[in-house]
Structure 1
C-alpha cells in the first residue's frame, strides 16, 4: 500500500528519493436528471446527495489511479497531495497531483 499524504513529509520517516510528480484524473458526466435535482436543491436549500456522490466517486477513482501510478514508479508514498475540482460542459472533473517518493528504512 502506498501512503498518500497532504503534508510535505511522512511523519516519523525520512525521504530517500524523490521520483517525480504523479497525477490522476477523473471525469464524471452530469446528466439532465442529476442537473434538475441539483438545481431544485439549490433553490430550496439543502445538500445535493447526487452531486456529493458524484464527487465522492471522482475522488475514489482518482485515489485508486494515483496509488497505482505511484506504485508503478516504485514509490512508497505520495506527499504534498493537491486536488482541483471543476466542472465544464456538464462534466465534473477532479485532478489529484503529488510527489512520489521512496522512504529511508
Structure 2
C-alpha cells in the first residue's frame, strides 16, 4: 500500500475515493522513561527514551491507518498528516494520530 503526504501519486490514476481514514495511538510514558528524560533535561542532549516512544507510536498509528484503509478497499492513502498531542493530568500520555484519504489507484 502506498502512503504519501501528497494529494496525488505520480504516474497513478485515482479511480475511487474510499473516505478519510484515521489511525490513533495513545501511549503512556512510564516512570523510568520519565526519569531518564528528566536527566537529559538537566544535563542536555537528546532524550532517547522519549524519541523511541514517539517513533513507536507514530509507526503504530500509520500501520493502523493502513489497516483501516485496506479494510475499506483502498490500495493507497494520500494527503497523510501526522499529529501529536500530550494528554493526561500529568501530561504523561502521548497521542499520535495519522489521517489521510483512502483511495483506489490503477
TM-score normalized by the length of structure 1 = 0.93
Q: How far apart, CA to CA, are the structure 1 residues paired with 2:50 and 2:32? A: 11
Q: How far apart, CA to CA, are the structure 2 residues paired with 1:98 and 1:91? A: 23
Which residue is equivalent to 1:58?
57
1:44-91 per-residue CA deviation (whole Å, 9 max, x = no partner) reads 111111001101110111121111100000001000000101111211
Q: Which runs of 5+ in 2 are unaligned?
A: none
| Runs of 4+ that moved beyond 4 A | none
The offset of 1:16, in angstroms, is 0.8
CA-based RMSD of the aligned residues comes to: 1.0
The offset of 1:35, in angstroms, is 1.2
Q: Which runs of 5+ in 1 are unaligned?
A: none
TM-score normalized by the length of structure 2 = 0.92
Report the 3-state secondary structure (helix = DSSP H, G, I; strand = E; otherwise coil) of the residue aligned with 1:64: helix
